[in-house]
Structure 1
Amino acid sequence: MLKNIVRIFNLIHIGMVYLAKAMIVAMVLITFTNVVLRYGFNSGLIWSEEVSLLLAVWFIFIAMGLGVKQGLHINISLFDVAKMPKWLDAALTRLRDLVVIAVGIIMLRYGWTLVGFTMKSIMPATNWPAGWLYASVPFSAVIILYEALTQLFRIDTNDAAVDAFLSGKG
């Protein structure tokens, strides 16, 4: 069962990378097209700012989830790890994982609530539910919780190839 969950999340991670790349390309194309239309032809795409905002928010929260996987979240080095006792290093690493889990739980709880409130609101230019914008928060929270829990419990995810792919080396 655990192997299947790990396999599913590894596929989700790879899909998230491709999705993030597509979102960046789409944002650039939409913004470029809108600028050309606005300044070159004195018209524009009414929906471009809304869609670009949606893509940017989703990109940021996808990157946040992938950043936790890669250990790219904010770290403060107060102590020289080489001089620190192993038990203290292990305890501080566990504390870090617990803090990330707490942040993930908060994001999931309040993100879900926010999506529920905003699904009834409609974005003016696209007529899409505003909840789509905020759905990135609980989505990212699930990824963050998965990564933090696997790190906390030292679960071997057998994903060296996925990590190499995510870091651009694969």
Structure 2
Amino acid sequence: MQRLIKTLSLGLTWVARIATGLAFLVIIIAVVIQLLGRSGVIDSVIWSEELTRFALLWLVAFGAGLGLRSGALVNVDIFCEALPEPWPWRLRLFSAALTAVFAFSLLPSAAFFMRIGARQTAPALGIHMNWIHASALVTLAVLGTVATLRVIGMLAGTEKGRPDNLEDI
């Protein structure tokens, strides 16, 4: 069981890192194209601004899970970590479980939002907006999965729930 959890966690981390890197690469390329167009080196390209915004959404979709996993998200734990054991562990478990429940409970609404996008088209790029709205669905799925893996790891005793204790980040 512990091996399966670690394999799932590492696999999700690998996919999220690659997707985040690709989204960041798209942002870099689109911004360079914008700069070249504004400086007169090339003709101005209308779709570069829109592509930058859409790539940012996908960057967040995969990067949020990595942030939760590594502890890079905003976290206020001065009070919680000052409590006597086992309260900090319990609060970290509760926080991870609440994150998972919240993320997974919003998945149906995100799927509905994505389906609405099938009837819309991005003005400059001309692609269906469901591909862009899917980023909300992916964000919730990744956050919920990372939080669930943390809960399972804590209950199995393989981790204490502290993001900074993950050696494989």
Bucket of the pairwise TM-score, normalised by the shorter protein: 0.7 to 0.9
* Equivalent residue letter for 1:36: L
TM-score (norm 2): 0.79
**In the alignment, which residue of structure 1 is the partner of 2:51?**
51
* Equivalent residue letter for 1:53: R
**In the alignment, which residue of structure 2 is the partner of 1:140?**
139
Further displaced range: 68-77 or 138-147? 68-77
Q: After the TM superposition, which segments of 4 or more aligned residues of structure 1 sit over 6 Å from their partners?
A: none
Aligned partners of 1:105, 1:80: CA distance in 2, in Å? Answer: 25
Equivalent residues of 1:34, 1:44 under 8 A apart:
yes
**In the alignment, which residue of structure 2 is the partner of 1:69?**
69
Inter-CA distance 74–109: structure 2 relative to 1 (3 Å threshold): farther
Aligned partners of 1:5, 1:94: CA distance in 2, in Å? Answer: 16
Equivalent residues of 2:106, 2:140 under 8 A apart:
yes
- Which blocks of at least 5 consecutive residues in structure 2 are unaligned? 160-165
**In the alignment, which residue of structure 2 is the partner of 1:39?**
39
Identity %: 16
Shift of 1:98: 2.3
Equivalent residues of 1:50, 1:125 under 8 A apart:
yes
- Which blocks of at least 5 consecutive residues in structure 1 are unaligned? 158-162
**In the alignment, which residue of structure 2 is the partner of 1:121?**
120
* Equivalent residue letter for 2:38: R
Equivalent residues of 2:5, 2:149 under 8 A apart:
no
Aligned partners of 2:92, 2:15: CA distance in 1, in Å? Answer: 28
Matched residue pairs, number? 160
* Equivalent residue letter for 1:28: I
TM-score (norm 1): 0.78
Matches within 5 A, 1:8-19: 8-19=8-19
SS of the equivalent of 1:33 reads helix
| Aligned-residue RMSD, C-alpha | 2.6
Equivalent residues of 1:120, 1:129 under 8 A apart:
yes
* Equivalent residue letter for 1:148: A
What per-residue deviation string (whole Å, max 9, x for no partner) do you get for residues 5-61 of structure 1? 753552332132122222222212221122212331573112111111110110012
**In the alignment, which residue of structure 2 is the partner of 1:101?**
100
* Equivalent residue letter for 1:66: L
Equivalent residues of 1:123, 1:130 under 8 A apart:
yes
* Equivalent residue letter for 1:13: T
Inter-CA distance 28–165: structure 2 relative to 1 (3 Å threshold): farther
What per-residue deviation string (whole Å, max 9, x for no partner) do you get for residues 75-97 of structure 1? 21242635x22132222112211
Aligned partners of 1:115, 1:51: CA distance in 2, in Å? Answer: 18
